[in-house]
Structure 1
Amino acid sequence: MKISFYVLSESKAQDFLGFICQLTQTALNKSAQSLLILVEDKALLSGLDTALWAQDATSFIPHQCLLDNQTDVDMAASKSVTPVLLGNHMPTDFNGIVLNTTSHPVNDFMAATSNAKPSRVLELIKPDTASTQAGRDKYKAYQQSGYELTHFKV
């Protein structure tokens, strides 16, 4: 699995929702895979839900919010209608791109009985102490798992 860390500048962090929308649109333009945005903060989830519907004046990013107990999603049907999923967990059969806004590595969201095999993970690191430390911890966890790691300063 390929893991890309995006270390956000102060200005990008101030427009966190805008950056997530921009990265989501870029990922959708470059890949035919579904995208899961992992969010643990309910306020961020609500804001992101609104922001994706109003990406800009002439477009929107179709998406679906997963319910807390919803582990099974028909990915084939979902992909044709809503290529983006938002939630605080990973569906059992998810195998697309994961944009992780949480403080935990994606491995923590893949249950032992899960068939989920993300193809790529996009990690967002804000320029604050807590996010930077969580990023370091995730980097170390992914490195120990032998994943291919890259990072970008944006």
Structure 2
Amino acid sequence: MNISFYVLSESKAQDFLGFICQLTQTALNKSSQSVLILVEDETLLSTLDEALWAQEATSFIPHQRLLGAHTEGVDPDITDTHTTLAPVLLGSHMPADFRGIILNTTVQPVTSVMAAATNAQPTRVLELIKPDPNSVQEGRHKYKVYQQLGYELTHFKV
């Protein structure tokens, strides 16, 4: 699995929602895979949900919000996320059998979330690191965890 760390500049961190929308659109444009945006903060989740709906018609990002262990309006036992769900999922957990790209905004490495998701096999993880001391420390922890697991690591300053 490839893990990409995006180290945000002050200006990108100030427009955190805009950067998430931009990165999500880029991931969708470059891949045919679903994107799961992991968010543990309910306020950020609601704000991001609104921001994705508010994109311009030419860059609208269709998405679906995950609720608890179930997906809104979808049988939770369905395993093919590529044909059943929206191309972008928002939530605090990973659906079982998820295969795709994860944009992680949580403080934990994705491997912590994967333990609860039966048969989940993400292909790529995008980690966002804000320029504040807490986010940098969390990013270092995640980097060490992924490094110990032998994942391919890259980083970008944006």
Q: Which residue of 2 aligns with 1:12?
A: 12
What is the deviation of 1:68?
1.2
- May I ask how many residue pairs the two structures share in their alignment? 152
* Alpha-carbon separation, structure 1, partners of 2:55 and 2:24: 10
Q: Which residue of 2 aligns with 1:91?
A: 95
Three-state SS of the structure 2 residue aligned to 1:104 is coil
The residue correspondences of 1:2-151 to structure 2 (distance < 5 A) are 2-56=2-56, 58-70=58-70, 72=76, 73=78, 74-79=80-85, 82-111=86-115, 114-151=118-155
Structure 1: runs of 5 or more not aligned: none
Instruction: Give me the TM-score of the superposition, normalised by structure 2.
Output: 0.91
Q: What percentage of aligned pairs have identical amino acids?
A: 74
Contact 2:63 2:87 (C-alpha < 8 Å) held by counterparts? yes
CA RMSD of aligned residues (A): 1.5
Opposite residue 125 of structure 2, the aligned amino acid is V
What is the deviation of 1:90?
0.3
Instruction: Give me the TM-score of the superposition, normalised by structure 1.
Output: 0.94
Opposite residue 43 of structure 2, the aligned amino acid is A
Contact 2:9 2:130 (C-alpha < 8 Å) held by counterparts? yes
* Alpha-carbon separation, structure 1, partners of 2:59 and 2:150: 38
Compared CA separation, residues 12 and 112, structure 1 to 2 (3 A): closer
* Alpha-carbon separation, structure 2, partners of 1:113 and 1:52: 25
* Alpha-carbon separation, structure 2, partners of 1:90 and 1:5: 19
Compared CA separation, residues 75 and 13, structure 1 to 2 (3 A): same
Compared CA separation, residues 89 and 77, structure 1 to 2 (3 A): same
* Alpha-carbon separation, structure 2, partners of 1:51 and 1:27: 17
What is the deviation of 1:119?
0.2
Q: Which residue of 1 aligns with 2:156?
A: 152
* Alpha-carbon separation, structure 2, partners of 1:70 and 1:95: 17
- Which structure 1 residue ranges, 4+ long, deviate > 4 Å from structure 2? none
What is the deviation of 1:120?
0.2
Contact 2:4 2:127 (C-alpha < 8 Å) held by counterparts? yes
Opposite residue 53 of structure 1, the aligned amino acid is W
* Alpha-carbon separation, structure 2, partners of 1:52 and 1:112: 27
Three-state SS of the structure 2 residue aligned to 1:93 is coil
